[in-house]
Structures are given as structure tokens and as C-alpha cells.
A and B are shown apart, each in its own frame.
Chain A
């Protein structure tokens, strides 16, 4: 216990040295995460923890008129696991030795926030898919009476396939936080697909920290929708470390009101013939703000690596702000690498085109925004994630709201070729 207290104090001290806290851009745009605020949230005396029954009831109200069977529900003071799901284990931090915890700490200067999150982690979720097996896992993370801090460790054996759907929800009574770290290793020839949808409420500060590693011939496909939370910070590190490993990341930020997002992705082609691809896009309404960073690195020796960083943004209001920062560091000659960044309001030519066919201006704008968003949502692998994501963004476009229960209905969604896989290929809801 004593060593754990020291561990927490050490983490807090490290956090205070976080470079972002000194960054002028962050200060100017108020995207610094105040340590005092975050510590305050986690350290406040937490009485009346949520009961299992309350959380179960809450999980059933995540979606309107529908429900999703979650294999595990993790909240600030407990968890529920579907016992028939053999690929999940949830272990208390106290069961893990300090040595192991310390090894899992993110060591680089940029990762001090991770150590803070780690310090407040009570339980660790472990997803294991043994060699040659397949698994599909639905996870629900909730910050309700207590803030949530947890870590998800994912391992796939050789040739295994894992599909994970993660939903982040809140039912906070006051200022709260949802902090989830991922440490993920895709074994040789294995595939990991993660679709993560953030729909936390406006009282929640969201911290997401991830490290992904793809071994030889492994595939990682990651789709993120950042829709909820008052202030979100996500830092994701992706390393294609094995020969012919491939990583495809698709990030979508949709901000409204005064939401703030700071989403950074770091990709590295650490081995030969690897692919690392990042598509980041942001749609910002009202006075929302986003700093979107995509950094790709190809070190010397990673011959025939391919790396792509695409960032694009759409500003729906003159008060919305997007700082889009793509960057590449390439030390190897025999590679293919491109990056691009484009941000602006809705193109007048598009509006005129649609209006000339009869659509009123607001409908035309809405269709364009939905199209821009659906290009990202359409890449989600999980059908529930697609539908829920589409309904979430529709709700935000319609009412500017987030963090509330959302419809999970395909009603009025054009299904293209009546094939579920094609559900969003160029199609969206009728308006």
C-alpha cells in the first residue's frame, strides 16, 4: 500500500512536467488539461458507488428502443463480465506486482499523462485471443458516480482474429473523467479490429492513451469516433513493428458547443514492407475546438514501407477552430509516403450544386456534412458501431446534443445493395 501511494505521488509529479502544459498553443486555446482539475476529480471522496443493478439498468438505456449485449461493462467502481466470454479477464491492480505495473508505465516524456491515469487504475481488462482463434467482444465503459480509470491489454496469438466494439458512456453527477489506456499487441498473422465510439456527457473529461504494436504480417484496423465529453485528450501510438504488418487508423472528431479535442496519433513503420495509414477528420460546429495531430515516422532500414497521413476538417461556424498538424519524419529512401491536410468551411460550389437540384440551403449543407462524416463512419467494421455512430452524428447535427441515449435504428437508412457490408457505402439517411 505504501509503495502504491508512492507510485501515485510519483505519477502526479510526472504529470506536472507534461510538455503540453507548457505549450503556448495549448495555453492559448485552453486545451491544457489542468492537473489540479484532473487530480481533483479522481481524488475526491467517492461515496455511494454505483450498484451493479444501477449500472445494468444504465447499460440498457444506452440505446433508445434497443439494446446491445455487452461482454463486459466497466465502470469507476466495478465491472460485470459475461462469464461465457472466455477471452476476457478483469483483474484488480492489487493482483499485479509493482514491478509489472512499473514496466507498463509509459516511459517517454510525452507519456506522463499515462502514468497519472495508470496511478488511478483499479482494474485492468485483459483481452486474449489464443492462436488461430476468433473472437468478437463488446465493451462498455461508463463513468457514473465515480470517474473511470482503467487499462485494456489486448493480445492476439498467431493467426487469431479479434473484433472489439467499445462504447464510452457517462452518467456523471458532477465533474467527472473517463480515462482508458490501451496496450495492444497483434501477434504474427493476426488481425485486430477496434471500433471505439465516445459519447461521454458534457461533464466528463476524456483521456485516451494507447499503444498498438503489429508483429509480422499482422493487421490492425482502428476506427474512432470522438463525439462526447467536454474536453478530450487522446494520444495514440501505432507501431508496425513486424515485416509486412499493416495499421489503418480512421479517426473522426465531431465537436459542438464548447467541446475541446486534442487528438494525436503517432505512427511508425518500424519494419520493412509495412503500411501505416492515418485518416483523420474533424467537423466542428459552434465554438468547438480541435487540435488534430498526425505524425508518421519511417526509420532507416524500413525499406518498402508505406505511410500515409491524411487530415481534413470542416468548420461549420466562424467561431469553431481546428489546428490540423500532419508531419512526417522519413529516414529511409525506398519508401512511399504522403501527407495532406485541408480545412475549410463548406464549399460554396457544393451548396450551389445541390441547391440547383432543389435542396434548400440548410438541407444541402446538412447533406454535405453528413456525407463528410459518413465517409469515416462507413469504415467502421462493426454494424452496431456504424448504426450508433450514424445516429449519434445525426442527433448532433439535428440538436447539437451528445452524451445522451441514442437510437440504434436502421430505419430510414438506405442499405444500398441490401447487403449489410454496403450499408454506408455512399449512402446515408434520407433527409
Chain B
């Protein structure tokens, strides 16, 4: 699968928040989008998945050359797109496993419950999740870190072709950042996923091997490169990129 974003513009209440983004992501690739708060990273991620309140004003989002702008969010997910949320919502009374079963059924059409359970258990252990977490309601009462781990676990179970992970490192302690990064890497390799990691910080990236780094400010990609860009950002901060634009 190839996800292509072409000159995408998105406005909220008349204000342009994504201002001509171009990106091309293929399976097996690891991309990083970095940017200061409010630079449009989350808006971009949600727009790709078809968040109803974010309508592109121009440009296109293509999957294997076909526009997906007219598709509902679930259909985009069924194509193989996945969004790991920055702030996963709590869904009262909906069991985490029940939800995963329903979601797996939706994207894979058939589910082997025993295999699914085994996958979930293994992933939960690998992610060092609290033992009873998966027996609880979806994200309810999870700590910030547990919510992020749960998003990564979902990614592993649903096996998308391209996964966008919005700040998978926020709310995690130092050890957990490493655990999450290792699991993302493993799932990415195992299922040949294209990964888009949205983050503010370089720590998680020290455990990963991104080939493409994109820096966003004011709804635009203002710099692109390899890992060296991360080091530059660490030294100079976002300010130099903002000034440069």
C-alpha cells in the first residue's frame, strides 16, 4: 500500500490548519513527523482517517492512487490505515477485548477467537501492561501510559498496512518509552507496516530507525531529511525552523 498526501489543505472555522502538505508513505517505511505544539500534526493525522469535523478544502489523500477523501473513517481503516490516538477516549462498559474482537472482525472479516486471545495476551506481556488491564473497559481508568500501550497493542492485533501513531511516547516513563518503541518496531517488521510516528521528542526515536523525518510548522512541512534532522532539532529546537518560514 502507498499512502499519498497531495497538496492537502484543511481549515477549521475559516482558519487554515493544514497548509499544503505533501507526503508519500509506503509499507515497510518509517516516517517521523515532528513539530511544535499546534503545528498541525494531529490535525493531519485525523484528517487522513476522515475525522468528520476536518474537511479538506483542497488537495487529496490517495491510497494506491485512489482518492479516499469520500470514504468514511471505517472504510479507510478497512483499507489498512490505523491511527493510534494522542488522547485515546474512554468508552464506558465496552470491554477492551470485546472491542478488539469487533474491530478485528470488521477489518479482517473472520476472527479466530483463540488466536486473537493468544495474540492479545502475548502483546500485553511484551508491552508490560498491567495484568488485569485487558479485562477492563476500553481505556477506562487506564493511566496515560497504559492508554498509549493499549493503542500499540491494538495496532499489533489489527495489523494495518500503514499506522499513524500520534505521540505514542507522551505520558510514558523512560523505561516504558523503550518498551513501546521496541514493540512498534517489532510489529512494523513482522507485518511490513508503514509507520508514521508523530512526536515532539527524540527519545523514542533513539530506539527506532526512521528513514524519513518531516518537520511541521504552521500546517506545512518545512524540512525533510533523515535521522540527522532529529539531531539538528535537538540542538536548535523548532525555533530555527519557524524563523526560517
Write the residues of chain A forming the contact surface with B, with a CB cutoff of 8 angstroms: 347-350, 352-361, 363-364, 367-368, 370-375, 378, 414, 416-417, 422, 425-431
Contacts and interface: CB of A to CB of B under 8 A. Distances in A.
Contact of A428 (B74, B88, B98): B98
30 contacts: A347-B89, A349-B89, A352-B46, A353-B89, A354-B91, A355-B73, A355-B74, A356-B77, A356-B85, A357-B82, A357-B99, A358-B103, A358-B158, A359-B102, A360-B74, A360-B106, A361-B72, A367-B99, A367-B102, A370-B93, A370-B94, A372-B93, A374-B93, A375-B92, A414-B95, A416-B135, A425-B136, A426-B94, A427-B135, A429-B98
A430 B116 CA distance: 13
Contact of B135 (A425, A428, A431): A425
B97 A427 contact: yes
A26 to B, nearest CB: 31
A364 B106 CA distance: 11
Q: Which of A350, A361, A427 has the most CB of B within 10 A?
A: A427
B137 A371 contact: yes
A63 to B, nearest CB: 24
Per DSSP, chain A at the interface is: helix
Interface in B45-81: 46, 49, 51-53, 72-74, 76-78
Interface string B133-154: 0011110100000000000001
Given A352-B51, A352-B52, A358-B78, A368 B106 contact: no
B65 to A, nearest CB: 22
Contacts of B135: 416-417, 422, 425-427
A353 B49 CA distance: 10
B83 interface: yes
A414 B140 CA distance: 18
B17 to A, nearest CB: 17
B227 interface: no
A428 B93 contact: yes
A427 B103 contact: no
A430 B101 contact: yes
A107 to B, nearest CB: 40
Contacts of B73: 352, 355-356
A426 B96 contact: yes
A348 B89 CA distance: 11
A234 B88 CA distance: 38
A259 B54 CA distance: 38
B129 interface: no
Nearest to A414: B98
Find the residue from B95, B136, B154 having the highest chain A CB count within 10 A: B95
Contacts of B76: 356
